[in-house]
Every structure is written in C-alpha cells, then in structure tokens.
Amino acid sequence: MTELAFHNSATRRREIFVPIDAEHVRLYVCGPTVYDLAHLGNARPVVVFDVLTRLLRRRFPRVTYVRNITDVDDKINARSQESGEPIGAITARTTADFHRDMTALGCLPPDEEPRATDNIAPMIALIEKLIANGHAYAAEGHVLFSVPSFPDYGKLSGRTPDEMMAGARVDVAPYKRDPGDFVLWKPSEADLPGWDSPWGRGRPGWHIECSAMSWRYLGPEFDIHGGGHDLLFPHHENELAQSVCAFPGSRFARTWLHNGMLLVNGEKMSKSLGNFMTVRDILAHGPWAGEAFRLLLLKTHYRAALDYTAERLEEAHTELNDFYALLARDLPQPEADDALVAEMAEWALEPLHDDLNTALAIARLRDLRTLENVATVGGSATAVLGRIGKSWEPESGQAAAALRQAADVLGLLASDPQAWRQGGEADENAEIEAAITARLEARKAKNWAEADRIRAELSAKGIVLEDTAGATTWRRG
C-alpha cells in the first residue's frame, strides 16, 4: 500500500505516519467559537481535515475524529452584551448555522463534537493536576499556567521568548508570577457564565478547553492534532504545555498539521477592508456554490496560502460542470471488483498520501476524465498516457467509475449528475415561485398567518420578497 506521510509542524519535517494503535487512528481538530457565522477562513480547516479523515478511514479499521465547539468565551459574552441576545440563544443558533454551512460544503460530521460547557469537570480535573505537578498556581480567583516551569515552552511554534511575548499580547497583571503565564481559570462576575470550582465561581480559559476535551475523548496521547496556522501560537503551544505537564511522559499529539491562511482578493480578510466574507455569502451564489468552493479550496495545497476570488469560484463551477457532464452520460457500469478501475482510482488518490496533495489528486481526476472521453467518444489517449507513464486501455465506463471512487475521498462529485446538469438553480427558482404563489393565495383568503409563515420560510433561505402594486418580486438578500 502507498506509504502515508505528512509534514509535521512540530518537527518541521516530512514524516512517515505510523499510528499509535494500528487499528485505531485518533485525531483532534480545534472547532469554532460559536458567536457568529463561519467566514471563509473558518471553512478551510473543516474541509481540509474532512478530506484527511476520509483518507484515514479508507486505510485504517477505525478512526475517531473529534472537533470541539467552544461555547464559553469572552467573544460570546461580549456579543451577548452588545446585542442583548441571551448567550444560550447565540451559541445554539450559531452552532446550527455552522452545521448547515459545513454540510453544504460536503463535510461529514466528526465522530465526537464535545461542547466546552459540557466538559467543565475534566477542565477542573486537569487544572488540579497541573497545580499538583507544580505547573500552575492559584492567585486572586485566577489559576495561571507557569510558563517558566516548562522549559520546552516555545518549541512547537519555534519561537524565541521575545517573539512569544509579542505574539501572545500578554497582559501584565499583578497576580502573575511571570508576564508570560497564561490563564487556565478566571473568576466570573454574577452576570457572566460561571461554574463552581476550588478557586471560586469562574470559567475556563480557551486553551484548557481543548486539552480537556482531547484528553476525555482521545486520551492523553493521540495521533494527529489539526487546525489553522494562526492557532499555532499561542493556542497550540499552550495546549501542548498543559497536556504534557498534566501527564508527564506523554507527548500529547504525535503529528501536528496546520493549514495556511485564506486571503480574499489578495488581502487578509478584515471587516475594515470590506473583503470579509462568510460561507453564507458563497452559498448565496446558487446550489452549485458549496461544492465549487470546496473544489476551489482543495485545488491549493493545504499548507499554502490560498487566495479567494469570485473568478476562481466561477472557474471551479465550470470545472464541476465538465465533470458532471461526463458522469451524466449513460455509461456502462463496470463490475464492483474491476481491477483496472481499482488501479486507476488508487493512482488518482496516490498524491493524498504525500502530505495530502489534493491539487495533484484533482489534476489526476482531470486525466481520468480525458481517458473516459477517449474511451466513449473517441480520440487519442496517447498524450495523457505518455505523460502519466501508464499503458492503460480503459473501456467505456471504467475511467468514469475510477473518477467517481477517487472523487468520493475528496468529498467531490457526489451529487446526482442529471440533477446537476438540469441546474439546481432552475429547480430552486421554481420552488421559490411556487411558494410566492401560495403566499398570494393565502393573502387573498386573508390567511395572514399562513402568508407570514411562507415569507419567514423564504427569508430563512435568504430570499427577500418585495410587494409592489399588487405584484411580488423576489431577490436574494
């Protein structure tokens, strides 16, 4: 079987991947802090680690993928104070939005999705271990991790103490023994979420949440920890320090994988630059947009910076149209155990084993499309076969079957090809028109409740109705 290797951020080297337990691969990925809609940068790690999980599932008998929900955080508290919406309502709504958006991007749910607020007890237990081991101390209702107590601090991110001080934007507080010490627990005022603890009523710091949830679901040492490169310091550095100090002799995560940043039109996304985009903004382009955005993301290697532009989304849309046009043909179905189909699919997936090279795997899907076109409508495959160094002579249907199998591991081309070609857009538009007609009927019958219900239903789909002079028009809001 093809060797599996990753670039490990912790060692800055390419390493052959060997799981701790050959029967069971365990991975943890930092999940969202739920106070707002997911933006494009939030979507990238979810898609990248979805492909990784699909690949691991193909090779290993069992995979446990844990991705947490951070539902206690100062950003959530601040949002609630600004808007007046209760914290529980914000986190429930945002979690549901996140699930809906990630499903639209073709991502499968993780095996475990622990919420921080359901895991306060393991956080307190972990903090108690750190105090007992001499790596943390309580002061004025806070508990702090003592950075000087852990000489390896900074090794994961490869930063000097000065760089770390600058990167962590440390608050100098009178209760800190060292300015670099970070918060594990802090006191909560009466109007903020809080839990009873040995240090009084309070709430956890963000970093301890991930150490506690990975420990609870995967144990003190596991195979892969993933997340965006922006989390490497201080978040992952702190997670590592907490976990190895609480469990002396353990290594926490063996392999660290970090995806690169996402730019919009060549610039870092920011609200002030006006290039801030949510996944919802992408999905509003049409029913094709979720899969097109997924393809766009996977056309760039996960560690490289990625630039989103509307042109690149349209390009991915066109590319999907070409793939689906091929798959919509009435092609012969090869047997399930067809050896050539398996060989071609394996070849297309080979690059994923080399540090998840999705870009090359997608290029190979295009080669399979060319081979199918030649087998079905004629032409010459000599150029493609010469370039890839293969002497295959696929019959009609074989390359398409291999294409489907390989695309499935990338989470692509899973839609019904006929429906895709007929244009989901057209179908959805017809549905909207039908709903508008039903609402007009309800209004004529003075059934205002029903009319309002239909308006609300459309509004939830991002459709805005405009009533003018007896007619109703609509647009996407």
**Residues near Zn ion (CB under 5 A):** 30, 210
Q: Which residue's structure tokens are 């549901």?
A: 96
Q: Quick one: 73 or 97, whose CB is closer to Zn ion?
A: 73
Helix (H) or strand (E) holding 262: strand 262-264
Q: Would strands 306-308 and 262-264 be described as parallel, antiparallel, or unpaired?
A: parallel
CA gap 345, 55 in Å, rounded: 13
Give backbone dihedrals phi and psi of 315, rounded to 5 degrees, phi first: -60, -45
Least distance from C-beta 285 to Zn ion, angstroms? 31
Least distance from C-beta 20 to Zn ion, angstroms? 20
Residue whose C-alpha is closest to residue 363's, from 396, 431, 410, 330: 410
Q: Quick one: 79 or 258, whose CB is closer to Zn ion?
A: 258
- Strand segments, DSSP code E, in 260-356 are 262-264, 267-268, 306-308
- Residues forming beta bridges with residue 24, ordered by sequence position: 21, 62
Least distance from C-beta 125 to Zn ion, angstroms? 18
Q: Quick one: 205 or 397, whose CB is closer to Zn ion?
A: 205
Q: Per residue in 282-294, is it b (16+ CB within 10 Å) or e — as a string? A: bbebbbbbbbbbb
Q: Quick one: 64 or 405, whose CB is closer to Zn ion?
A: 64
Query: Do the Cβ atoms of 132 and 229 come closer than 8 Å?
Result: no
Residue whose C-alpha is closest to residue 31's, from 88, 122, 120, 114: 114
CA gap 146, 143 in Å, rounded: 10
Q: How many CB atoms lie within 10 A of CB 427?
A: 12
Q: Quick one: 176 or 225, whose CB is closer to Zn ion?
A: 225
What is the residue type of 291?
A: E
∠ CA 17-23-24 to the nearest 5 degrees? 75
Q: How many CB atoms lie within 10 A of CB 28?
A: 29
Q: Quick one: 116 or 210, whose CB is closer to Zn ion?
A: 210
Least distance from C-beta 236 to Zn ion, angstroms? 7
Say which residues have a Cβ less than 8 Å from residue 339's Cβ, sequence separation at least 6.
none
Least distance from C-beta 371 to Zn ion, angstroms? 43
Q: Quick one: 105 or 231, whose CB is closer to Zn ion?
A: 231
Least distance from C-beta 28 to Zn ion, angstroms? 8
Least distance from C-beta 258 to Zn ion, angstroms? 12
3-class DSSP state of 467 = strand
Give backbone dihedrals phi and psi of 288, rounded to 5 degrees, phi first: -80, -15
Least distance from C-beta 193 to Zn ion, angstroms? 19
Least distance from C-beta 201 to Zn ion, angstroms? 24
Query: Do the Cβ atoms of 301 and 357 come closer than 8 Å?
Result: yes
Q: Quick one: 73 or 319, whose CB is closer to Zn ion?
A: 73
- Residues forming beta bridges with residue 465, ordered by sequence position: 474
Q: Quick one: 106 or 114, whose CB is closer to Zn ion?
A: 114
Q: Which residue's structure tokens are 């240090």?
A: 199
Least distance from C-beta 45 to Zn ion, angstroms? 11
Q: Quick one: 30 or 435, whose CB is closer to Zn ion?
A: 30
